[in-house]
Amino acid sequence: MKGKVIVSRFWTRFFSLGKAEAITLFPFIFIYKKGLKKDIILLNHERIHICQALELFVVGFYLWYVLEFLFRFLRHKNFDKAYRNISFEREAFAHESNIGYLKQRKRWAFRKYL
C-alpha cells in the first residue's frame, strides 16, 4: 500500500499540531510542500505507517498511537521525546532509509520497538 500523497500546508500542520512536514491519515499521506513528493526517505517513513495502520485495522492504530504517546509524554514530560519513543515511530525512523524494507517487513514488526 503506497498511500495517496496530498500536498497541503494547512492540513499537514493542522493534523500534526504544526510539528511535522508529513503525516499519515490512512489512506492518505499529507505533505507540507510539493518538493517533499521527491523525498523518498520521508515517503518511506509514512508508508511504514500505512502498513502499521492496516495491521491494526486503522482505528486500532490511531487509538494505540494516541495512548502510547500519552503514556510516553507522562513518562518523559517532553513532546518530542514522547513522539520519538512511540513504537510505530521508532520502527519507521529505524527503517526509513531502507527503501526495500516494506517488501521484507514482517507483520507486527513495530512490537519489537515497544
pLDDT digits (tens, 9 = 90+) for 17-71: 999 999 999 999 999 999 999 999 999 999 999 999 999 999 999 999 999 999 9
- Residue 24's contacts (CB-CB under 8 Å, 6 or more residues apart) are 3, 30, 46, 49, 50, 53
| Dihedral (Cα; 97, 101, 105, 110), 10-degree rounding | 10
**Burial zone of 68 (CB within 10 Å; 0-12 exposed, 13-18 middle, 19+ buried):** middle
Mean pLDDT of the chain: 96
> Does residue 78 carry a pLDDT above 90?
yes
